[in-house]
A and B are shown apart, each in its own frame.
Chain A
Amino acid sequence: MSPETILVPLMFVTLIVFLLLGIPVAFALSGTALLFSLLGIKFGLFSFDLLYALPERLMGIAENYILLAIPFFIFMGSILERSGLAEDLLETMGQAFGSLRGGLAISVVVVGTLLAAATGIVGATVITMGLISLPAMLRHGYSKKLACGVIAASGTLGQIIPPSIVLIVLADQLGVSVGDMFLAAIIPGLILSGFYVLYVFLVSLFKPEIAPAIPKEKNVSTVAFIKKVLKVVFPPLFLIAVVLGSIFAGWATPTEAGAFGAVGAMVLAWFSGRLTRKTLEECLTSTVKLSSMVLFILVGATFFTLVFRGLYGDFVIEDLLTHLPGKEYGFLLTVNLVVFILGFFLDFFEIVFIVVPLVAPVAERLLSPIFSDFSEPSRIALVWFGIIISMNLQTSFLTPPLGFSLFYLKGVSPPEVTTADIYKGVVPFILIQIIALASIIFFPEISVGILK
């Protein structure tokens, strides 16, 4: 047995141990990397010099313009939260749903879906949603689990609803057009958010205590209430219009749309008289702290992956993937399982890099016959395959113990919300993901029908 076949699994196990001991995630990742780089050097798999690739990777993160979406959107969310605008909205929307229980959670899914259409960076959406909706839900007596689950899940919608960085990287690796991937992802993304709404609706029907209805204020006439709804709904709608509008009108790139949202939020808060210097500084501080938290996790992950590759971990995975079952559904099942499990440990970026080039040719050959009535079966098959993988990766952001969205949500939660609450909260949503994934696999028209 070669040293790498032992070191690589051991590296994964060590990471989990460090994480569960309560070492901060970024340091658990980089500490594991440090330890295993020493082992890798000792077993002659690489020399110390390889580690000089690390500063280059660090600069790669620091210079990555796309990541600016993280501070932009966090700042927007932070202003909405601290100025009370977000709470006004969610509360009023909750009231508007009236006797409908779970109204607040449904509003979260709706807002999450809209935000997903504006950005494709994971940290950005989850944290923004966490900032604006978690305190409101907890205050209204929602169970911590449901609140966390719905936020974490809605926050990852940004990965599947275009624009999305996952889709772009996948399109690149599969050699299909980004535009096709974006088109084919729209309906699956909306189906997911529909499923989330359905779940919230059902759970609040059977377990009203975990998703209480928000009582209407007493002695308020319907007319007055409608006025109030319009008043509180306007600012966030305006903001969403600014963010999405700036992209669609061709003023901003998807990343810059975050800056439009941030400026728009400041303008709104200023108009509502709630933008003091103190609020502004508080928002900036939390933006800096939360962005740094996300970025340092990325640094830890990049160190971990470098050492993983140094130990020839990518070749270990390759060997695993070379002998996949021959039939199309067996193949899909295996690939999905591998991606799902790797999703526990590795950044989506690395998974795409390692797995997709290996399986894409097989996918093209095996899956093309399914689309024989399309004009370009192989292109459609690859797009479909890409959508399946991207939904699977989106799920991996949600999966304990290492789903990055869960870390990010933890980063903005009040202390009474524990990791356990978050882990338990996402379980139903992971099941929903699996159902959605299965429906895309068995009814390909859902995603690629639009390309016909």
Chain B
Amino acid sequence: MKKIANFIDKITSATGYILNYICLIMILLGFTNAILRKLSQYFGVNLTSNMYFEMQWYLFALIFAYGFSYALLHKEHVKIDIFYNRFSKKTQKRIDFLAGIFFFIPVSLLLCYLTYPMVLKSWVIKESSPDPNGLPRYPLKIAVLLGLFLLVLQSISETIKSWYSLRGEDVS
């Protein structure tokens, strides 16, 4: 079980590292596209493309889809700790474990389950953007589905870890 959790964590860490650079590209793209658009006006030539525009939110969608598990791994998801902090360590661990079983896993499974038909339909028709110089949409939707699947895995990993932690064992 521990091995499974560690393996999942490794995958999530690796995707998280890639996300860093996706984020950097997204920032540079936003900046460059705006500059090129302004220059188009000065030179009277179209220097930019709606593709650069779409690409920004495509990258954003990747951060959206894969960042959830990354944030989960790093316990980045905010909680209200007014009472939580006053609970005993044991109670806190119980809550963490139950949150894994009754919240993380069912929610992420449901998201995956609901998203699958949408992605399949998009893939079958090779859905593309309706807008000028748009990008194909189906690869993006597939990527989002895989991101949600990673969230399922990460939820399982977190639950396993909190189970060991509840039993007083360390996992890392």
Contacts and interface: CB of A to CB of B under 8 A. Distances in A.
Direct contact between A and B judged by beta carbons closer than 8 A = yes
Contact of B106 (A31, A75, A253): A31
Interface string A242-273: 00001000111101101110110000000000
B38 interface: yes
B116 to A, nearest CB: 9
B23 interface: yes
Contacts of A296: 67-68, 71, 77
Nearest to A255: B30
Interface of B: 16, 19-21, 23-24, 26-31, 33-35, 38, 53, 56-57, 60-61, 63-65, 67-68, 70-71, 74, 76-85, 87, 92, 95, 99, 102-104, 106-107, 110-111, 114-115, 117-118, 141, 144
B38 A22 contact: no
A62 B77 contact: no
B118 A56 contact: yes
Contacts of B21: 284
B78 A63 contact: no
Contacts of B20: 281, 284-285, 288
A251 B52 CA distance: 16
B78 A262 contact: no
The 4 A-B pairs of least Cβ separation, nearest first, read A292-B67, A22-B84, A259-B30, A24-B77
A409 B76 CA distance: 12
B103 A251 contact: no
Nearest to B143: A62
B80 A289 contact: no
Interface centre among A51, A58, A292 (most CB of B within 10 A): A292
Most buried by A among B27, B67, B106, B114: B27
A419 interface: yes
Nearest to A257: B34
Interface stretch (A66-74, A159-167, A214-222, A344-352): A66-74
Given A293-B71, A295-B64, A418-B81, A263 B118 contact: no
**Could you say which of A58, A260, A423 has the most chain B C-beta atoms within 10 Å of its C-beta?**
A58
A291 to B, nearest CB: 6
Contacts of B29: 259
A59 B141 contact: yes
A38 to B, nearest CB: 10
Given A259-B30, A262-B31, A30 B144 contact: no
